Every structure is written in C-alpha cells, then in structure tokens.
Amino acid sequence: MLALLDQLSFPAIRRGHLEILQVNLTYRCNQRCLHCHVNAGPTRTEAMSDELVEVLYAVIDRHPVATLDLTGGAPEMHPRFRQIVQHARAQGLEVIDRCNLTILSEPGYEGLSEFLAGQAVRISASLPCYSRDNVDRQRGDGVFERSILGLKQLNRLGYGQPDTGLELNLVYNPLGPYLPPPQAALEADYKQHLREDFGIVFNHLHTITNQPIARFGSTLVSKGQFNDYMQLLRDNFSATNLANLMCRNTVSVDWQGYLYDCDFNQMLDLPMRLLARDRSHLRDLLTDTLDNNPIVTRDHCFACTAGQGSSCGGALA
C-alpha cells in the first residue's frame, strides 16, 4: 500500500458544514520562529484593512458560524484586534486567540491579558517544549522566560484554573523533521513539568505536525531533509484521519479577505475554488454556502493525516 501511495495524489475530499472562521489578521509578529509556516516577523506589514474588518463584521452578523479563530503573525498586533473580539463576543461567537505569550509583556500591550479574560477568549498558546533551551532555539533567545511569565499572568487571571470557564491550551510543534509523540502522553508530561517547575496549570496540549512549507520547508531543503520528511509523512498516512480534517469545517481568510481551505493552503497561495471561481472572497460568505465544496489538496496535506493526525485543535485520532 505504501509503495502505491507514493504514486498517488492526496485523496479527494469535500467540505462539511462551516463552523469555524479562521482569520489571519496580520503577518506582523514580535517573534520570528523557525517552524512558522506564515514567515511572520517584526518587519512584516501586511494587515487586514478597516474596510475588510467591516466585511468581517457583516459575515459574523449574518453567517451561522460558531467560532472566530484569530491568528497571524501575532493577531493582537492588529490595531482593531480588541474591537473584533468584542464584536464577535457580542454576537455570541466563541473567540480563539492564537497567542505567542510573549506579546503579553510587549511594550504597548499592557492590559491585554485582562482584556482577554474579560471577554472569555479561549487562548491557544504556542509552547514547543517545557525546556528553556529547546524553546529558545526554535523561537529566539529569552522567549521561554517571557512565555513562562505570560502563562503565570494568565493563571492569576483564572486561565487554566478549574471552574473559571477561561480555557488555556498549549500548542506543541516538533523541533525537527519528525512526527509529534502521542498527544495524551505528552500532555501529561507538560502538565507535570510546568506544575512542578513553575506552578503553571493549563487545560489541554495540542500537538501539530510541522508543515513542509515556507520557513520550515526551506530549512528542510537547505539541510537535504525535505524528501525524507515527505516520505515520513506519506509512510504514516492514515485514512481514518480524513473524516476529521480541519478543512472540512473551517475556512481560512487571509489579510486581504481571500478564502482558503486551510491556513497552509493560504501560505502556498492555493485559493478555495467556490462555484468555479478562481479566487473566492470573504464577501462570498454573505451569499454562498461552502457545503460539499471540493477541498484543494496537494502533497503537503499528508502532514495533517500522518500518524495521529494534526489540526489547529491538535491530534485527530
């Protein structure tokens, strides 16, 4: 089967019902991480315009999506981040903030933690290891210490604590070209180390397989590891993960308002094909349904189906 799989494209799949609107507000970020498939960083200037934010509001008001997932870059660096959160929460949507933790101590972002807690925003925070050396190697010197300070700050506000309703989830990416370990076992290790070493608690750990694209893909190519990594993904293909792929119920919106089946397709400029359009836009969600729409796939999609599977919400199996 594996030999045959090498000769095949990724299986054809279609969308289910749209539940999650994932919006990339900006490529600007106060960090520049090795694994970042967005190539985000401090010098990036791309950001959603005020006009498109108003279109986003219209979609939120009229479309029965349940969740607004805000990402970047550092989504908090968009000048209207707080207004967007408030608008979505007022409409009854759950809001996810994909937070890098260090933004919480960045000058000019004072009170951000309190704002997130006040709006009951679910935080999905990147912490690729509970080891200082590993985190700093992947994300930059001093990032681990600032991440720990951010987690402690969130804990003091009730995040990750029982019976507060303030959900704090951590995100793990492997440090190199291999698959994440089993999510449940790694979550237990994280919880033990962070509690014993720093007194930190959180709700869940989400493991995400590194995508062989953008900055990480370039690193693989430069080290001569790209083909081996792609073979690893193919060899560990699991058809049982196809039913739970995030592209089935999530749409990715870029800073210009264009639609993609996932954030990774966005970075590869593989737009959603809706009603034979070459490129679909956020405005289309005001009139069109995505149900049963074909999903644009390529070989990088094997990263989402390898082993236990991978999505923005962690393992699939």
Residue 276: its pLDDT value, please? 75
CATH number where 52 lies: 3.20.20.70
Q: Tokens for 153? A: 């700050």
Q: Is 251 left (phi over 0), alpha (psi -120 to 50) or beta?
A: beta
Q: Is residue 117 scored above 70 in pLDDT?
A: yes
DSSP per-residue codes, 186-240 = HHHHHHHHHHHHH----SEEEE-PPPSSHHHHHHHHHTT-HHHHHHHHHHTB-GG
Segment 114-136 shows an average pLDDT of 84
Q: Is residue 95 part of a domain?
A: yes
Residue 277: its pLDDT value, please? 82
CA-CA distances (angstroms) from residue 35 to 8, 10, 25, 121, 125?
Answer: 27, 23, 19, 25, 15
Q: Is residue 216 part of a domain?
A: no
Q: Is residue 308 scored above 90 in pLDDT?
A: yes
Residue 286: its pLDDT value, please? 93
Residue 317: its pLDDT value, please? 79
Number of domains comprising the chain: 1
Count Cα neighbours of 205 within 13 Å in the Cβ-side half-sphere.
23
Segment 235-261 shows an average pLDDT of 96
Residue 135: its pLDDT value, please? 63
Q: Is residue 228 part of a domain?
A: no
pLDDT tens-digit series, residues 133-182 = 666 666 566 788 889 999 999 999 999 999 999 999 999 988 889 999 99
Residue 178: other Cβ atoms inside 10 A: 11
Q: Is residue 3 scored above 50 in pLDDT?
A: no
What's the pTM?
Answer: 0.92
Q: Which helix (H) or strand (E) holds 308?
A: none
Domain membership of residue 153 as a residue range: 16-211+245-294
Segment 197-221 shows an average pLDDT of 92
Segment 293-304 shows an average pLDDT of 95
What percentage of residues in the chain have a pLDDT greater than 70?
Answer: 91
Segment 191-204 shows an average pLDDT of 95
169 backbone dihedrals φ, ψ, rounded to 5°? -115, 145
Q: Is residue 31 part of a domain?
A: yes
Q: Is residue 234 scored above 80 in pLDDT?
A: yes
Q: Is residue 2 scored above 70 in pLDDT?
A: no
Segment 56-73 shows an average pLDDT of 95
What percentage of residues in the chain have a pLDDT greater than 90?
Answer: 77
pLDDT tens-digit series, residues 80-100 = 999 999 999 999 999 999 999
In whole numbers, what is the pLDDT of the chain averaged over residues? Answer: 90
Q: Is residue 2 part of a domain?
A: no
Buried b (16+ CB within 10 A) or exposed e, 37-55: bbbbbeebebbbeeebbeb
Question: What is the rounded CA–CA span in Å between residue 40 and residue 59?
Answer: 26
**Is the distance from CB of 168 to CB of 202 less than 8 angstroms?**
yes
Residue 216: its pLDDT value, please? 85
Q: Is residue 126 scored above 90 in pLDDT?
A: no
Q: Is residue 283 part of a domain?
A: yes
Q: Is residue 4 scored above 60 in pLDDT?
A: no
Q: Is 276 or 177 the better-scoring residue by pLDDT?
A: 177
Question: What is the rounded CA–CA span in Å between residue 248 and residue 246?
Answer: 5
Question: What is the rounded CA–CA span in Å between residue 305 and residue 315?
Answer: 10
Q: Is residue 199 scored above 80 in pLDDT?
A: yes
Segment 201-212 shows an average pLDDT of 95
pLDDT tens-digit series, residues 14-42 = 999 999 999 999 999 987 655 566 667 88
